[in-house]
Amino acid sequence: MNKPLLAALKGFRQPVPPIWLMRQAGRYLPEYRALRAEKGGFLALATDPVAAAEVTVQPIRRFGFDGAILFSDILMVPWALGQDLTFGPGEGPRLMPPLVDHALDALVRAPARLDPVYATVARVAAALPPTTTFLGFAGSPWTVATYMVAGQGSKDQSETRAFAYRDPVAFGAIIDKIVATTIDYLARQIEAGVEAVQLFDSWAGSLSPAQFERWVIAPNAAIVAGLRDRCPGACIIGFPKGIGGKLPAYARETGVDAIGLDETVDPAWADAVLPDGMPVQGNLDPLALFAGGAALDDGIDRVLAAFPDRPHVFNLGHGIGQHTPIAHVEQLLARVRGA
């Protein structure tokens, strides 16, 4: 297989770990900032297949990463489910109406809103170098639901956590709708040309153990099973941020092929507790990349040393910061690749 990243995700350890970075297509790149200014906003950029394909390919053209990640957003699914999605200047995304005050049944589904994403995938798949793996993604149900219920992001997801305790039937209906839509969304990404997908669960760490089983493990397992029924052999990365000691249970019970580790996880511990041979991805602290110099070299070396025998995809523990210097990304690539 002439795609090192895809081979690693399928369980074949590579002599040099393949590398891509979460949010690698984004605000730290001057070419991205210029195109976003031209388009006038995030949603306009993400729903223009020509522009979104260009953004997806920009970091491949500049750095030669082993993987390209589709330029889009985890809130495309609630947008397709009928909530209005906006990205205001200087603020996070907003979804209206918030489901904490409105019934899910009142939403009018708009699946055609996802059509530009599939067109973007087809364009990128035709443009990438033959050795580059193309990654699609979606948000995991719990994380997506926190935005759908509250209408925006929050530090502790308290509104959604309380809603799930207060009315688990209504909240379960939201989760079920996200699961079904996400299966179709990821399957159509694969059918259009992506070669692996990642499930982002940015807020998975905010739940108690029982709630974690119910709202993180079970829905992600349903997505994995449903996607494999639709697309046999689908390659799936799970990225459950902040779950700490729940990581082995997530790995065993969701059925994902590979696990993304956030920066708070001791990679040597992860290597010891995860199933033998399971590929891992991560987990350099994005702030070490921002700092550069000896701190960056030391962080890279610690991650590389933690997985002596396990298939490993080098990545950050979360998204690259928008003020990260280009030279530090170049330093990272040279260190990982031994240049």
Active site residues: 23, 27, 36, 73, 147
Long-range Cβ contact pairs of 210-216 (< 8 A, separation 24 or more): 211/161, 211/164, 211/165, 212/243, 212/246, 213/249, 214/168, 215/141, 215/142, 215/145, 215/164, 215/171, 215/175, 216/140, 216/142, 216/240, 216/243, 216/250
Longest CA–CA span in the chain (Å) reads: 56
Show the tokens assigned to 337: 């690749």
As to burial, measured by CB atoms within 10 angstroms (0-12 exposed, 13-18 middle, 19+ buried), residue 218 is: middle
DSSP string of 150-192, one letter each residue: HSS--SS-HHHHHHHHH-HHHHHHHHHHHHHHHHHHHHHHHHH
Smallest CA-to-CA distance from 199 within 225, 232, 163 is with: 225
**What are residue 309's phi and psi, to 5 degrees?**
-125, -5
Q: What is the DSSP letter of 230?
A: H
Smallest CA-to-CA distance from 299 within 260, 331, 323 is with: 331
Torsion angle of C-alpha atoms 259, 262, 264, 266, degrees rounded to 10: 30
Asked if residues 56 and 68 have their Cβ atoms less than 8 Å apart, the reply is yes
Which residue matches tokens 């010891």? 272
Smallest CA-to-CA distance from 264 within 276, 246, 237 is with: 246
Q: Give the CA distances from residue 126 to residues 18, 54, 205, 319, in Å, rounded to whole numbers and listed in that order.
A: 21, 12, 37, 26
Show the tokens assigned to 85: 């999605």
Asked if residues 210 and 250 have their Cβ atoms less than 8 Å apart, the reply is no
